[in-house]
Amino acid sequence: MGPTKGKLTRELMAMRISQELFDGAVVNLGIGIPTLVSSYIPEGMTIIFHTQNGALGFGPVVTADEVAEKADVDLINAGGQYITPLPGMCFFHHADSFGMIRGGHIDLTVLGALQVSEKGDLANWLFPARGVGNIGGGMDLAVGAKKVIAAMEHVTKNGELRILKECNYPLTAKECVDLIVTDIAVIEVTREGLVLREHAPGWTAEEVQALTEPRLIIPPDLKEISF
Amino acid sequence: MGPTKGKLTRELMAMRISQELFDGAVVNLGIGIPTLVSSYIPEGMTIIFHTQNGALGFGPVVTADEVAEKADVDLINAGGQYITPLPGMCFFHHADSFGMIRGGHIDLTVLGALQVSEKGDLANWLFPARGVGNIGGGMDLAVGAKKVIAAMEHVTKNGELRILKECNYPLTAKECVDLIVTDIAVIEVTREGLVLREHAPGWTAEEVQALTEPRLIIPPDLKEISF
Amino acid sequence: MVNKVVGSFEEAVADVFDGATIMFGNFAGPGGFPINLCRALRHKGVKNLTIIGNTAGGIGLTTDFDDQAILFENRQVKKVIASFPFSISPSRPSPCEKQVLAGEVELEIVPQGTLAERIRAAGYGIGAFYTPTGVGTVVEKGKEKRVINGREMLLEYALPADFAFIRAFKADKLGNLVYRGTQRNFNPIMATAARITIAEVDEIVEAGEIDPEAIVTPGIFVNRIVKVTKQEDFPRHLERSFWVKTA
Amino acid sequence: MVNKVVGSFEEAVADVFDGATIMFGNFAGPGGFPINLCRALRHKGVKNLTIIGNTAGGIGLTTDFDDQAILFENRQVKKVIASFPFSISPSRPSPCEKQVLAGEVELEIVPQGTLAERIRAAGYGIGAFYTPTGVGTVVEKGKEKRVINGREMLLEYALPADFAFIRAFKADKLGNLVYRGTQRNFNPIMATAARITIAEVDEIVEAGEIDPEAIVTPGIFVNRIVKVTKQEDFPRHLERSFWVKTA
């Protein structure tokens, strides 16, 4: 490898993920990078946000300086952030909320990831170093949403690979991820294997492959990530 | 047997059944004799009526001459009768409604019966002569309600017995009936067998036994039905 | 934003195909039944339908109305899945009853609570569940049975459909629905269980005009909304709320 | 009519016994959590409790409040059944986390949707159900698995409790409840699943003062109602409705 390549910031990753949205899509965003996606909804597009704690169709997160004016303890998202009301939103209990998820009524979920396997297995709930972890709603979302996007840095801070032949962290769900968006690549999970769709500006397919354990399929229309 | 004994009218049967009500009871009444029970709620007692098509806490049935003024197509009971609103009533869908039933949240149901067995098996959904029948919500009520009262004439119009060692009509549920109220007797279903609690005025235990296939246990405190 | 409002009932059912499975919200009368969608389906004439609902129409109540019976009269039904498929009066058998007894239509009869729960299971991604209802009856025939917590229970499977035809009171333009009294019946759960849900409503309002705490069916379950233009001649009092305030 | 209104939180929890199983409505913050019932339970001091809820308290959000963590601090908990039992921050472990890691408290961790569905199943008389959630993960350990409709699913059992401690917005005197926004969370389903359900509410009104179409928890599920007299210092805007009307 040559000199250190530029990587996408978390905001740019969220921007790239926002290109997967479509008008009227029902979307559930996990905590972390996924939450940022709500800031990049394409102009004129209506997205119906779902939060597993029982709301649909709400508005943006309350920002730090709006808390005094707008925060309400009874209007939060799954990350515990205060959210805002929007005309046409509605509320429901947890069994109904996860019925929506498990029943395939969420078009798209974006989940943070620790590892993703060649077959689309997702590990995102437990750091083995900590010994314990929170399952939360991730297993249901990974199994139930029509499309699952895994968002993560391509390698760990220590340079360990995260896209692996087999995950060695405990799984969240098997064969659930449809698209992996990292700070250097966009990779589609297909029956034939992982297809490198896009790479970050300045990166080559070989350089992405070097940081990816399974063999990447390089299609003729491989593109640079653009915004 | 001596001369034809007097039998309770349907209204008197309903009056007797109403003695099983208690303050605050959640009650579901089947079609026929059971429906009449709602006319005999003891003074000062609050009964919360449940109907399986999704309402709780409603008021009396709309009478024939009130239809023009009070009937509303969106306010009916399980028998298709128009009912009236009451402060504190509420509405819900069928899955929630049968969740209440199956989950044991109905204190008492009164169901019409064709046959009841010694063990409390209930048959009330299919006349073999017709060949087909409607299951409806009866199986769920028989299985789910905390207390099940079967209401019927003690014998058929042709004099065939209805309280049998084994039902020969298709069952609604096994071992579900707690109390049988007929036009000549009140019989409790216990582990030891059928206990004759009360007989109609003028009837003897022997005369009731003669119209009942299984052996009746006659307790020392056997009473006459009173109102 | 995707427009869910459709101009006519004919247009709303245009893609229903021969052999489709269709759920109908209904209970024991015209309230909560999508009568205009049902008529449009008869007019369309598609055949070999499987219909799911509490009744199969023509149960013989005093209020006569166009329910699923018209589909049997038009020979459009191949199979019925229902809890109360026959007339309440043996002397006035419904078209369904005649065709079932003649072996022309297949019937699966299901206890009402099990029917509701199977529909919900389909909508909510539950594959199957164990229920005590039906144990020891004809319903248990061919079904797995197991003892759970000391109680015998039957295994019942999720019941999905291609289309749900439902009836509601008001919709907003996002498809959020509210119902009126016992009109709810099977409608909210059927809305979750079909690939395409079509709602027949009295009124269509802007998003935000319905109290968010009172919305029963979230709009994500509803694909098409059609407004009823001509009210039927039923005992209906739209001006009256069921809210009997004490205050 | 039976009076469900109880004068104090202490009185409301008076019959909670050593070894009881208690559900707590909650999600990721003080909204929708019965804080006063929880405090009364700590005060009562009963031991060997099994507690069920989305979290087990002390998850480390910026808003600090008295949640189930106080029961761990007081050594009242024997077992936890939760989906999100640990702190969000490894450097600030919750009392639950410390006691689980020390082997002092038993933990059953359950995916959130499965937890919700198991609670509903208990309330609604469903013995068990098959769900695809958890297949191929630690969750499937010791569970029956079967393929339904081409998909692997796990058998999950109903989860009942002795008591449900829930939070709602308004109650009427019959026990009918409405909630406020995301306050609902697990509260309505827990209300169905316990032998005794106790609701902590902001306001108690007469029957008929709540729109019957908007009631979420029918009163038959609620045994006791207690009114909150002192509002907590959370960002709460009771005067504001979430109803953003467009009209």
As a whole number, mean pLDDT of residues A50-76 equals 94
Residue B2 covered by a domain = no
Q: Which chains touch B (3 or more CB pairs under 8 A)?
A: C, D
pLDDT computed for residue D110 by the predictor: 98
As a whole number, mean pLDDT of residues D165-182 equals 97
Residue A5 covered by a domain = no
Residue B213 covered by a domain = yes
- Residue-wise pLDDT for A39-58, tens only, equals 999 999 999 999 999 999 99
D129 with C125: Cβ contact below 8 A: no
pLDDT computed for residue C61 by the predictor: 80
pLDDT computed for residue D241 by the predictor: 78
Phi-psi domain of D120 (left: phi exceeds 0; alpha: psi -120 through 50; beta: other): alpha
What pTM was computed for the model? 0.97
| Tokens standing for residue B80 | 């298709």
- Residue-wise pLDDT for D127-154, tens only, equals 999 999 999 999 999 999 999 999 999 9
So what's the ipTM on this one?
Answer: 0.97
Q: Which chains touch C (3 or more CB pairs under 8 A)?
A: A, B, D
Residue A119 covered by a domain = yes
B99 with D2: Cβ contact below 8 A: no
pLDDT computed for residue B1 by the predictor: 45
Residue B21 covered by a domain = yes
User: Residue B32: which of B136, B131, B121 has the closest Cα?
Assistant: B136
In angstroms, rounded to a whole number, what is the distance separating the alpha carbons of residues C116 and B96?
Answer: 9
Q: What percent of chain C has pLDDT over 90?
A: 87
Which residues in D16-169 belong to E strands, given as ranges?
21-24, 49-55, 77-84, 106-109, 128-131, 145-148, 151-157, 161-167
Q: Is B82 on the interface with C (CB under 8 A)?
A: yes
Alpha-carbon gap: B214 to the closest alpha carbon of chain D (Å)? 32
Write the residue in D124, D174, D176 that is nearest to B99 by C-beta.
Answer: D124
Residue D3 covered by a domain = no
Question: Is chain D touching chain C, with at least 3 CB–CB pairs below 8 Å?
Answer: yes
Minimum CA–CA partner of D221 in chain B: B105
Residue C4 covered by a domain = no
D183 with A74: Cβ contact below 8 A: yes
Q: Domain holding B76: CATH number?
A: 3.40.1080.10
- Residue-wise pLDDT for B17-58, tens only, equals 999 999 999 999 998 899 999 999 999 999 999 999 999 999
Mean pLDDT (chain A, rounded): 95
Query: Which residues in chain A are contacts of D133 at CB distance < 8 A?
Result: 102, 139-140, 143-144, 173
Alpha-carbon gap: C177 to the closest alpha carbon of chain D (Å)? 12
pLDDT exceeds cutoff 90 at D243:
no
User: Residue B171: which of C129, C133, C80 has the closest Cα?
Assistant: C133
Query: Which residues in chain D are contacts of C124 at CB distance < 8 A?
Result: 117
Q: Is B108 on the interface with D (CB under 8 A)?
A: no
| Tokens standing for residue D205 | 């009104």
Q: How confident is the model at residue A2 (pLDDT cuts 50, 70, 90)?
A: very low
Per the structure, the count of domains in chain B is 1
Per the structure, the count of domains in chain C is 1
Residue A48 covered by a domain = yes
Q: Which residues pair with C130 in a beta bridge?
A: C155, D128
pLDDT computed for residue D242 by the predictor: 81
In angstroms, rounded to a whole number, what is the distance separating the alpha carbons of residues D167 and D185?
Answer: 10
Q: Domain holding C83: CATH number?
A: 3.40.1080.10
Mean pLDDT (chain C, rounded): 95
Residue C3 covered by a domain = no
- Residue-wise pLDDT for A20-36, tens only, equals 999 999 999 998 899 99
A100 with C213: Cβ contact below 8 A: no
pLDDT exceeds cutoff 90 at C1:
no
Residue with tokens 């038993």: D106
Write the residue in D153, D209, D244 that is nearest to C245 by C-beta.
Answer: D209
Write the residue in D84, D179, D235 that is nearest to A67 by C-beta.
Answer: D235
In angstroms, rounded to a whole number, what is the distance separating the alpha carbons of residues A111 and B3?
Answer: 82
Domain that holds residue A71: 10-224
Query: Which residues in chain C are contacts of D126 at CB distance < 8 A?
Result: 117, 129-131
pLDDT computed for residue C234 by the predictor: 80
pLDDT computed for residue B5 by the predictor: 73
As a whole number, mean pLDDT of residues D81-105 equals 95
Q: Is C2 on the interface with A (CB under 8 A)?
A: yes
As a whole number, mean pLDDT of residues C74-81 equals 98
Residue B4 covered by a domain = no
Interface test with D, best of C155, C172, C213 (most D CBs within 10 A): C213
pLDDT computed for residue A1 by the predictor: 45
| Tokens standing for residue B100 | 């209440």
Sign of the C-alpha dihedral computed for residues C187, C188, C192 and C198 taken in this order? positive
Domain that holds residue D75: 9-246
Residue B5 covered by a domain = no
User: Up-side HSE of residue D235: CA atoms within 13 Å toward CB?
Assistant: 21
